[in-house]
A = this chain, B = another copy of it.
Amino acid sequence: MPSEFDLIQRHFTRATRHTALAVGDDAALLQPRTGMQLAVSTDMLVSGTHFFADTDPEDLGWKTLAVNVSDIAAMGAEPRWAFLALSLPAADEAWIEAFARGFFACADAHGVDLAGGDTTRGPLTLSVTIIGETAAGEAVTRDGGRAGDDLWVSGQPGLAALGLAALQGRTRLDADGRRACIAALQRPQPRLALGRALRGVASAMLDVSDGLLGDLRHILERSHTGALIETAALPLARLLATGADPVLCRHCLLAGGDDYELLFCAPAARRDTVRALATKLELPVHRIGSLTADSGSIHMREADGTLAPLAPNGYDHFA
């Protein structure tokens, strides 16, 4: 059986583009560009909690990095370096090779160097720390939302949760819908170009990993605002077109996680700017409501005008 060091060497050592010293010493050495701040995020994915043990390892490699790249996108920053800690039940080289292929596909797509890591024996667990750069003061945080700001979401939230429901046999989808939903679950596309374009435009931003409403609450807490959601503005049509039950579709859109779309606020005066940059990026954005002065509350306004407060129900790993 190849040793740990052999496996790391063989599959995780690649030429780096912007790393002074990568894998192979006690620490990697990185040279940030002058005047840049670092944006750093860590995510841990655990077999059985975040993914099925039999998930295709190439998809898993992609997703392990993509969810971290998404955090950097949500700051409006540029991803630069990743560090991968990997606990494996056995030194299964075919699995490691496929995982590395997916991981590096995502790294190459987004200009990320794998600059270091750790491999050990244990239950299948993947932990990535990603470091991005942003000009000092330009990062888009969660705390800049103001009452009256528009509330926007990118792309198609809900697809990944529908994909999960399909894999778990909780819903039937037509063939095209099933393919799209499972792709959204297994190969999420971090919205880097959008995040970058929204610097100086969005007042607050995050990526939706745990569900739109649950993550919205983080913006509301940090920005000391409330939110009003216009249900007629929610992008439900594509979900409904998969053939899934409408109640499930709405639940997946509002409470499903794992889409890694960007949820952001922007002053109403910037509405045309947001639309223009979305058109340029060929990525739909949906204005689904607005921030309110009623701190911490979320209200839903239905198409018939009825207004109802929402009870907290965001997904929580320990709930």
Contact = CB atoms under 8 A, between A and B. Distances in A.
Interface in A27-47: 27-32, 34, 37-44, 46-47
A319 interface: yes
Given A75-B25, A75-B27, A4 B318 contact: yes
Contacts of A48: 122
A251 interface: no
Interface in A162-194: none
A222 interface: yes
A316 B31 contact: no
A81 interface: yes
B28 A41 contact: yes
A196 interface: no
A280 interface: no
Given A41-B116, A119-B318, 18 more contacts: A4-B316, A26-B71, A26-B205, A27-B75, A27-B130, A28-B39, A29-B37, A32-B38, A41-B83, A42-B84, A42-B129, A44-B85, A44-B125, A49-B87, A83-B129, A85-B127, A121-B318, A123-B125
Given A26-B207, A120-B317, A83 B40 contact: yes
Interface in A118-161: 118-123, 125, 127, 129-132, 134, 136, 139, 141-143
Interface string A1-14: 11111010000000
A72 interface: yes
Nearest to A117: B42
Nearest to A32: B32
